[in-house]
Amino acid sequence: MSNRKWFGLLKNTAIAVTAAATMFGLASPALASPASEPPQTNVVGGTRAAQGEFPWMVRLSMGCGAALYSRQIVVTAAHCVSRTGANTSITATFGVVDLQSSAAVKIKSTYVHRSPTYDTATGGDWALIKLASPAPASIPLLPLAETKAYDNGTFDIIGWGAASEGGAQQRYLLKAKVNFVTDATCKAAGGSYADLIANAEICAGNIPNGGIDTCQGDSGGPMFRKDNAGAWVQVGIVSWGEGCARKGKPGVYTEVSTFAAAIKAAAAKL
């Protein structure tokens, strides 16, 4: 959900998003609003993930997702952070599907690296957040796809984002599957999709029917699939789209294979 497209909707619902985050222990109590029981099943066509199913998934306190790249670095979207530099304001939550669980591991940030090519013709909606201490060794990492070999097929998406376009954030981690959409088909969706950066972005969704998608609050989270060895590999980062789960309007993700080398180099310097 970049500031080009979905981020506009995020700005318009910032108060609701902050209130929902407070319900789940992710925002200042001063901004709290009355809590209500969150939906238990579907979020944009998804179902609830099992505890431990995607252990490298991270929730960030600004209302974005991320994935554990190394013991002390998470990968998220550039549009989730404002700039490169020291930053101790972000809290990363690990190890749970229920954001209210007392078993959650929470670690503060120390530094943010924002892609220098973000919002340019080159694209690059990715960022790294360095943590103040390492994540527990029991939490596995999610490796990046370093070639385009896995930029096809069926992908998995997960997040604590809205259950519907403009809706509230969720308490429980939800999952869904989406199909690869070719660049030509994605561009043919019209509107903002005509400006798709083919070498930097990858599309996925249910073009004929809609109903399955990432949404506000899922930004920065991973899109992933199994590699030839049966291990999870990250192929995308939730970036933008026109609305959520609309028919003929797929989700657009940062193409991780394009930026894997740059991400690896930046991480080595943090």
pLDDT digits (tens, 9 = 90+) for 83-127: 999 999 999 999 999 999 999 999 999 999 999 999 899 999 999
pLDDT, residue 163, reads 78
Q: Which fold has domain 6-40+55-141+260-268?
A: Thrombin, subunit H (2.40.10)
pLDDT bracket for residue 26 (50, 70, 90)? very low
Q: Is 213 a catalytic residue?
A: no
Q: Backbone phi, then psi, for 109, in 5-degree steps?
A: -85, 160
Q: Distance between CA 59 and CA 80 in Å, rounded? A: 12
Reply yes or no on whether the pLDDT at 17 is more than 50: no
User: Rounded mean pLDDT of 1-15?
Assistant: 37
Residues 162/20, Cβ–Cβ less than 8 Å = no
Residues 59/100, Cβ–Cβ less than 8 Å = no
Q: Distance between CA 258 and CA 237 in Å, rounded? A: 12
Q: Distance between CA 29 and CA 10 in Å, rounded? A: 21
Q: Catalytic pick from 61, 115, 125, 257?
A: 125
Three-class SS state of 259: helix
Reply yes or no on whether the pLDDT at 27 is more than 70: no
User: Rounded mean pLDDT of 171-180?
Assistant: 94
Q: Distance between CA 268 and CA 270 in Å, rounded? A: 6
pLDDT, residue 166, reads 84
Q: What percent of the chain has pLDDT over 90?
A: 76
Q: What is the pTM of this model?
A: 0.86
Reply yes or no on whether the pLDDT at 20 is more than 90: no
DSSP category for residue 247: T
Q: How many angstroms from the chain centroid is the CA of residue 118?
A: 16
Say which residue, 30 or 214, is predicted with more confidence.
214
Angle at 193 (CA atoms; ends 187, 197), nearest 5 degrees: 80
Q: Backbone phi, then psi, for 264, in 5-degree steps?
A: -60, -45
User: What are the helix (H) ranges across the chain?
Assistant: 6-12, 14-23, 183-187, 256-268
pLDDT bracket for residue 183 (50, 70, 90)? very high
Angle at 226 (CA atoms; ends 238, 158), nearest 5 degrees: 35
Report which of 66, 247, 61 is spatially closest to residue 158, judged by C-alpha positions.
66
Where are the CATH 2.40.10.10 domain residues in the chain?
Answer: 6-40+55-141+260-268, 148-257
Q: What size, in residues, is the chain?
A: 270
Reply yes or no on whether the pLDDT at 1 is more than 80: no
Q: Catalytic pick from 61, 109, 219, 239?
A: 219
pLDDT bracket for residue 197 (50, 70, 90)? very high
Three-class SS state of 159: strand
User: Rounded mean pLDDT of 70-86?
Assistant: 97
pLDDT bracket for residue 32 (50, 70, 90)? very low
Reply yes or no on whether the pLDDT at 19 is more than 80: no
Q: Is 227 a catalytic residue?
A: no
CATH class as words, domain 148-257: mainly beta
Q: Is 79 a catalytic residue?
A: yes
Residues 238/220, Cβ–Cβ less than 8 Å = yes
Angle at 130 (CA atoms; ends 50, 174), nearest 5 degrees: 20
Three-class SS state of 253: strand
Residues 203/185, Cβ–Cβ less than 8 Å = yes
**DSSP assignment of 83-126, as one string?**
-SEE----EEEES-SBTT-TT-EEEEEEEEEE-TTTTSTT----
Beta bridge partners of 232: 226
